[in-house]
Chain A
């Protein structure tokens, strides 16, 4: 299945789904949201918390040389909301969930389950792609919010223990430095990442050929493609948010 027809059919079923929610398959959507989102939470939480710790340590190393150690909370807050939170969350979800989606759909392709759906008159885009892409789009911002909170917590933890910074002081500097715009820009990035990663993972899965070897190859290709697409999109969106 080519990429443009896949996008077109996804858009068609999304619009139709607003008139007849039965087409969206709510049970499958919730199942995918659990698989893509809820089960990825521990990994996302841990990764973001560690990133928060690393940000403080790396930031403190430079900032104390210019006597600006107090700005470490500002650094963590703005970076985490605008960049690190969405980026790290997307990387974890790509490694975990996008690869799983590609492998699952690829296995279905090589065992003719996709063909079986088509012969039954069931559009594989509606039945398989829609719940997965929708779940990825919904859960990515949710995971990002939780990841960002834990990243800030990690930063507060290391600031308190290593730098001797009062946690209340850390929190008040955070509130002064971070604006709503920083939060929104990160969440919009997450939303777009979720859609792009979901659709690319499904696209690679539906085009697997060559048996088990093909599934393995395309799963790897899918992760690499999703990472590249996510990083390129991040670059474009960061520029857009910077200039506008």
Chain B
């Protein structure tokens, strides 16, 4: 079968979102084929999480289209969107676990709510997903009893509970130690390479990004300034991209003011 007959798992066309006078996402377009991992990079406040929220239907764009698994979601009603959402999973930056439920109940929830499933089957799936993220035996604890890193791993297990076709991750390795970061990266890689899951990962951990990505995009002030494979991104001479990828304090990304600008800002009324 030629590539032209395989539809993209995710396709975004001219996505635009404004808040008042500010354009947060400015005519973004990209696509992702099944089994690939897209890493979305950018500085703090560049719109990465806003983009992710649009991709899972939590926000509606002002212009543009988003297609998930061939279905255009921006004009869907809530019931239609919920059908699409049964095929995706999202790992929130903070985990977003339900504090009134145990770890096991958190992971079982999407399984039990999506259709009627025997509770013993759900228990088995919970054990399998906890094994996957290295938290076997933790099903009876409450989220308040977990560390930040553990919460994130439980969040990942919950996102994977219904074996989604597309996995969205918002900073999956933030707050994890280097070993656990490598474990999560390996897990995401295995899911995409061995099980054919498509992944969209928002991160500014460059080590993780280059480890897992098959496609990368860099956002800056709401626009895509670089797009391509990890090798293409490394070779890209764009100075903003290079400053971000190399983690340099000085450069075209204006994080530090010049002496004159600093004095001007201090003396402004």
B174: A residues at CB distance < 8 A:
none
B57: A residues at CB distance < 8 A:
118-119
B90 contacts partner chain A, Cβ-Cβ < 8 Å: yes
Report the separation of the CA atoms of residues A51 and B83 in the bound assembly, to the nearest whole angstrom.
53
Given contacts A120-B110, A120-B113, contact A113 B99 (CB under 8 A): yes
Q: What total of A-B pairs shows CB separation below 8 Å?
A: 51
A115: B residues at CB distance < 8 A:
53, 58, 92, 96
The winner among A9, A112, A115 for most chain B CB atoms within 10 A is A112
Give 25 CB contacts A-B under 8 Å.
Answer: A9-B78, A22-B116, A111-B99, A112-B96, A113-B98, A113-B99, A115-B53, A115-B58, A115-B92, A115-B96, A116-B92, A118-B57, A119-B85, A119-B90, A120-B109, A120-B114, A121-B82, A121-B86, A121-B110, A121-B114, A122-B82, A122-B110, A122-B113, A123-B78, A123-B82
The winner among A9, A111, A112, A116 for most chain B CB atoms within 10 A is A116
Report the separation of the CA atoms of residues A127 and B83 in the bound assembly, to the nearest whole angstrom.
17
Given contacts A113-B96, A113-B98, contact A121 B116 (CB under 8 A): no
Report the separation of the CA atoms of residues A127 and B114 in the bound assembly, to the nearest whole angstrom.
12
What are the 5 closest A-B residue pairs judged by CB atoms, nearest first?
Answer: A121-B82, A121-B85, A112-B96, A116-B96, A120-B110
If A111-B99, A121-B83, A121-B110 are given as contacts, then 4 extra A-B residue pairs at C-beta distance below 8 Å, sorted by A number, are A112-B92, A116-B97, A118-B58, A121-B113
B56 contacts partner chain A, Cβ-Cβ < 8 Å: yes
Report the separation of the CA atoms of residues A22 and B117 in the bound assembly, to the nearest whole angstrom.
12
A232 to chain B, nearest CB (A): 31
B86: A residues at CB distance < 8 A:
121
A122: B residues at CB distance < 8 A:
82, 109-110, 113
B94 contacts partner chain A, Cβ-Cβ < 8 Å: yes
A132 to chain B, nearest CB (A): 13
The contact string, 1 if C-beta is below 8 Å from chain B, for chain A 114-155, is 011011111100010000000000000000000000000000
B58: A residues at CB distance < 8 A:
115, 118-119
A46 to chain B, nearest CB (A): 29
Instruction: Report B's interface with A, CB cutoff 8 A.
Output: 53, 56-58, 78, 82-83, 85-86, 88-90, 92, 94, 96-99, 109-110, 113-114, 116
Report the separation of the CA atoms of residues A9 and B77 in the bound assembly, to the nearest whole angstrom.
12
Report the separation of the CA atoms of residues A122 and B114 in the bound assembly, to the nearest whole angstrom.
8
The winner among A9, A113, A127 for most chain B CB atoms within 10 A is A113
B53: A residues at CB distance < 8 A:
115
Report the separation of the CA atoms of residues A116 and B95 in the bound assembly, to the nearest whole angstrom.
9
Closest to B114 in A: A121
Cβ-neighbour of B98 out of A9, A116, A123 (below 8 A): A116
Instruction: Report A's interface with B, CB cutoff 8 A.
Output: 9, 22, 108, 111-113, 115-116, 118-123, 127
Secondary structure at chain A's binding surface: helix, strand, loop or mixed? Answer: helix
Complex contact B110–A111 (CB within 8 A):
no
Report the separation of the CA atoms of residues A169 and B116 in the bound assembly, to the nearest whole angstrom.
60
Report the separation of the CA atoms of residues A127 and B90 in the bound assembly, to the nearest whole angstrom.
19
Complex contact B113–A119 (CB within 8 A):
no
Closest to B84 in A: A121
Complex contact A120–B98 (CB within 8 A):
no
The winner among A112, A121, A122, A127 for most chain B CB atoms within 10 A is A121
Report the separation of the CA atoms of residues A115 and B86 in the bound assembly, to the nearest whole angstrom.
14
Report the separation of the CA atoms of residues A119 and B94 in the bound assembly, to the nearest whole angstrom.
15
Complex contact B98–A119 (CB within 8 A):
no
B89: A residues at CB distance < 8 A:
119
B146 to chain A, nearest CB (A): 14
Cβ-neighbour of B96 out of A111, A121, A123, A127 (below 8 A): A111
A134 to chain B, nearest CB (A): 18
B77 to chain A, nearest CB (A): 11
Report the separation of the CA atoms of residues A112 and B142 in the bound assembly, to the nearest whole angstrom.
17
B117 to chain A, nearest CB (A): 12
Report the separation of the CA atoms of residues A119 and B113 in the bound assembly, to the nearest whole angstrom.
12
A236 to chain B, nearest CB (A): 33
Report the separation of the CA atoms of residues A240 and B97 in the bound assembly, to the nearest whole angstrom.
47
Report the separation of the CA atoms of residues A116 and B110 in the bound assembly, to the nearest whole angstrom.
10
B99: A residues at CB distance < 8 A:
111, 113
Given contacts A121-B113, A122-B113, contact A116 B90 (CB under 8 A): yes
Report the separation of the CA atoms of residues A28 and B109 in the bound assembly, to the nearest whole angstrom.
13
A107 to chain B, nearest CB (A): 8
A2 to chain B, nearest CB (A): 13
Report the separation of the CA atoms of residues A112 and B158 in the bound assembly, to the nearest whole angstrom.
14
B97 to chain A, nearest CB (A): 8
